[in-house]
Amino acid sequence: MRRAPRSGRRALHAEWTKLRTSPGALALTLAVVVSTVGSSAAAAAATAGSVAGCASGSCGPDLTRLSLTGVQVGQAVVAVLAVLLIGDEYGTGMVRVTLTALPRRTTVLAAKAVVVAGVVTVTAVPAVLGSLAAGWLVLPGRAFSGHEVVARAAVGSVLYLVLVGLLGLGTATAVRSPAAAAGIVLGLLYVFPIVAQAVTDPGWRRHLEQVGPMSAGLAVQATGTGAVGAGGAPPIGPWQGLGVLALWALAALLTGGLLLARRDA
């Protein structure tokens, strides 16, 4: 009865050790923070002049969301980090050693998911807070119009990055190729918004935005303080949109777990 918890602790320790000793892991975690904060600061600086003459946030963009623009860049690094956690093992053949030492394959995948979620959370928190701080410095007094909605956007952005990491882990487990998995995840994230913009029918565009993992998930950043554009209201609610991304991540993990359990390493 006590073997399963002990096996889980061993799996967690093993996965954390592998990630901690990976030569590129630290660089990737730092890259998440730098790319997210840097991109957010650049977006805020590029927009500051156009909104300087606005007397209230209602005549310009949603500046909280603008301050979190870098999440769209940092998510690519998060996806790569998560993919490499298991993709490198398949590339080097070390996955056979892992599954020999820990035969319960679902336990191995669960341990990897916990490690990914923990590392991405620790990395995403300074990245998101740094982005908001950059927006506040470049757009003083404008990016924080309501503490509750800003807090929701910040927490939601951290959860968004965690879910992107889990999506990457599940995809890499399913396809077993780091390059293919990274391409699939980045395609899912970035292709949906591109296709939605190319679609002329408003209804179909709205549906694509509602099911796309990035367009739906990032709805959690919207605070409703900016001007409503030609597209009208957001296509999906904040937490509902994050739920769509959670379903994508869950589907990837379930598919990866099923294939991991049924096929040879």
- Which DSSP string corresponds to the chain? --HHHHHHHHHHHHHHHHHHH-TTHHHHHHHHHHHHHHHHHHHHHHHHHHHTT-SSGGGS--HHHHHTTTHHHHHHHHHHHHHHHHHHHHHHTHHHHHHHH---HHHHHHHHHHHHHHHHHHHHHHHHHHHHHHHHHHSTTTS-S-HHHHHHHHHHHHHHHHHHHHHHHHHHHHH--HHHHHHHHHHHHHHHHHHHHH---HHHHHHHHHHSHHHHHGGGG--S-S---TT-S-SS-HHHHHHHHHHHHHHHHHHHHHHHHHS--
Residue 130 has a pLDDT of: 97
Q: Mind listing the pLDDT tens digit for each residue in 230-243?
A: 334 678 999 999 99
Name which of 172, 162, 182 is nearest 242 in CA terms: 162
Helix (H), strand (E) counts: the chain: 11, 0
Residue 230 has a pLDDT of: 31
Residue 231 has a pLDDT of: 39
Q: How much is the average pLDDT of 80-85?
A: 91
Q: Using the 8-state DSSP alphabet, how is residue 144 labeled?
A: -
Note the residue count of the chain. Answer: 265
Q: Mind listing the pLDDT tens digit for each residue in 176-218?
A: 888 999 999 999 999 999 998 898 888 888 999 999 999 999 9
Higher-scoring residue by pLDDT: 180, 59: 180
Q: How much is the average pLDDT of 76-93?
A: 87
| φ/ψ of residue 55, rounded to 5 | -75, -25
Residue 229 has a pLDDT of: 36
Q: Using the 8-state DSSP alphabet, how is residue 145 labeled?
A: S
Cα–Cα distance for residue pair 204/192, rounded to 1 Å? 12
Q: How confident is the model at residue 5 (pLDDT cuts 50, 70, 90)?
A: low
Residue 232 has a pLDDT of: 46
Residue 20 has a pLDDT of: 82
Q: Which helix (H) or strand (E) covers residue 260, if one does?
A: helix 238-262
Cα–Cα distance for residue pair 77/37, rounded to 1 Å? 13
Q: How much is the average pLDDT of 64-81?
A: 94
Confidence check: pLDDT of 58 > 70: no
Tokens read off for 264: 């040879």
Residue 245 has a pLDDT of: 97
pTM beyond 0.85: yes
Higher-scoring residue by pLDDT: 161, 47: 161
Q: How confident is the model at residue 224 (pLDDT cuts 50, 70, 90)?
A: confident
Q: Which of 146-150, 178-182, 222-226 has the lowest mean pLDDT?
A: 222-226
Q: Mind listing the pLDDT tens digit for each residue in 6-53?
A: 777 888 888 888 888 887 888 999 999 999 999 999 998 988 766 655
Q: Is 256 helix (H, G, I), strand (E, B) or coil?
A: helix
Q: Mind listing the pLDDT tens digit for each residue in 90-142?
A: 877 777 887 777 778 888 899 999 999 999 999 999 999 999 999 888 886 55
Q: Is 235 helix (H, G, I), strand (E, B) or coil?
A: coil
